[in-house]
Chains A and B, each alone.
Chain A
């Protein structure tokens, strides 16, 4: 079982829909990242959070430390939101604090 699990793996939505992507993890963490990867492109960091909720434009990220769960919400989705969304956790302790990645959620927003 992966230490970071995302659902769904694939998601198709119509423009304007409200979208939720979920992330569950099984390790102790110091922070959780939501990343966006466009086809053929690099990775953009959307959020880094360790508690509560953050909002940036149409994007909202929440985390529940007790339940080891985070969600990424996209309101009023648009075709330009089509990308792979990756949840990554920074494991607690150790010398590296390297990121452990989920396998990503491929989102396609249709016009």
Chain B
């Protein structure tokens, strides 16, 4: 597709269950970001991948959160033992390259609700 694709678009899960969110970046984009937006709050940085370099995980809120990306392809964000405070829209963005003035292209997000 032409844009960043995320799946699922909506996910309702029970507290304590694990969830996996998927992001398909734009083909050829080497940089991939995960962000989170909780209700009524701004966007929070979670994790950043750039090519085959070690990811910047500085935004992950706890060790229940992890993400993977193989090369310059799909990324998955996994949340283990979900808690109600994990409810948010999880947004993925990709950029053509890791340069200072590179535009980021966002996906539609995955709305996660933990009940």
Contacts and interface: CB of A to CB of B under 8 A. Distances in A.
Interface string B85-115: 0000001010000111111111111010000
A101 B109 CA distance: 16
Interface stretch (A37-45, A62-70, A73-81): A37-45
Interface residues of B, number: 27
Nearest to A2: B42
Contact of B91 (A30, A33, A42, A100): A42
Interface string A16-34: 0000000000000011010
Contacts of B99: 97
Given A96-B48, A98-B45, A98-B56, A44 B101 contact: no
B42 A101 contact: yes
A92 B100 contact: yes
A41 to B, nearest CB: 6
A102 B42 contact: yes
Interface of B: 33, 35, 41-45, 48, 50, 56, 58-59, 91, 93, 98-109, 111
